Amino acid sequence: MQRILSTYRYVNQKLTPGILAEIAKAGFSAVEVFCTARHFYYRDPQAVREVGAALGEYRLALHSLHAPAERDGSPTRDGGIPISISDTERIRRLDAVDEIKRALEVAETVPFMYFVQHLGYGRQSSDPRKFDAAFT
């Protein structure tokens, strides 16, 4: 059995080589990295390289990358604007897709097997239009 830990457990901290060392020491062989500006700033090439190097050093695989759920251009902000590929407003949906593409660029430096993408956020009510929008 493969032991995989989501870094969401550390979402309120910057993802550092020290955290990855702890995860490896606990016996995990892979991680799911959660994309948020305050935790893992996927837009910063230096942060991506640093995490990639630490994963290699501690022999951890990047099993999956969890798509950003909010748009935030700064790692110092407390919260961001929720993004969703199921937004019924086309411009917001396209903005979400652009942000997700930025997160997918991590694979150019650190390959991963899976990309976790939620169709909505929070406690959104069920709406067939949102479901259709997600598949558009």
Which sequence spans correspond to the domains of the chain? 4-135
In this predicted structure, what is the pLDDT of residue 75? Answer: 53
Distances, alpha carbon 10 to alpha carbons 5, 19, 85, 90, 136, in Å: 10, 8, 25, 33, 33
Alpha helices by DSSP H, listed for 1-136, are: 17-25, 45-57, 90-104, 128-135
Selected from 3.20.20.150, 3.30.70.1230, 3.40.80.10, 3.40.50.300, the CATH number assigned to the domain covering 4-135 reads 3.20.20.150
Q: What's the pLDDT at 91? A: 93
pLDDT at 131 over 90: no
pLDDT digit string, tens, across residues 20-65: 999 999 999 999 999 999 999 999 999 999 999 999 999 999 999 9
Q: Is residue 121 predicted with pLDDT exceeding 90?
A: no
User: What is residue 31's DSSP assignment?
Assistant: E
Question: What are the φ and ψ backbone dihedral angles of 40, each rounded to 5 degrees?
Answer: -130, 105
* pLDDT value at residue 79: 61
C-alpha to C-alpha distance for 106 and 131, rounded to whole angstroms: 27
Over residues 56-105, the pLDDT tens digits come to 999 999 999 999 988 765 555 556 778 888 888 999 999 999 999 999 99
Q: What phi and psi, each to the nearest 5 degrees, are found at residue 79?
A: -145, 165
Query: CA 97 from chain center: how many Å?
Result: 13
pLDDT of residue 123: 67
Q: 28-64 b/e with 16+ CB inside 10 Å = b?
A: bebbbbbbbbbbbbbbeeebbebbeebbeebebbbbb
Residue 35: predicted pLDDT: 95
Worst-scoring range by mean pLDDT, 1-5, 112-116, 117-121?
Answer: 117-121
**pTM score:** 0.84
